[in-house]
Copies of this chain bind each other. A is one copy, B any other.
Amino acid sequence: MNFEEGLKQNGLKITPQRVAILKEIQRRGHATIEEIYEDILKEYPSISLATIYKNIISLCEADLVKEVKVSLQKQRYEINCGEHAHIVCTECGKLEDIEFGMESFYHNAMITRYIQPSFVSMTIYGKCNQCLKE
């Protein structure tokens, strides 16, 4: 994904901080605020936590970044690039992406990487009838 392009298309200025945040999220796959901050600090000692927070909000609003909420874990963020499911280890917390196909994901989860998926969390987002009317 071209970050500069994505920022421009959403009316967000291309700043080195923003690009660094996006790169860091991409590098990690799924990053917490703290992880993003700590890592960017190394090459960018002046960056502020407030900048991370403010940008995460802008980037989520622009749909360049998506929240990943996992049970018992801190909120994470990922680059928004195509729908996929997540697979989480209930022991070590490892979080991975997995192809999102209605028929295949159970199979995929069981055979290739995890055994005995114990619980599936699914949430569907959309406009409810009432909000559609308004």
Contacts and interface: CB of A to CB of B under 8 A. Distances in A.
A106 to B, nearest CB: 8
A15 interface: no
B86 A126 contact: no
A102 interface: yes
The copy count of this chain in the complex is 2
Interface residues of A, number: 43
Contacts of A100: 120, 122
Given A120-B122, A122-B122, A128 B102 contact: no
Interface string A65-90: 01101111000000000010111111
A130 interface: yes
Nearest to A122: B85
A115 B88 contact: no
Contacts of A114: 124, 126-129
A109 interface: yes
A89 B128 CA distance: 5
Given A69-B69, A87-B123, A114-B129, 11 more contacts: A67-B71, A71-B125, A85-B124, A88-B124, A89-B131, A105-B124, A109-B124, A113-B129, A114-B124, A114-B127, A115-B129
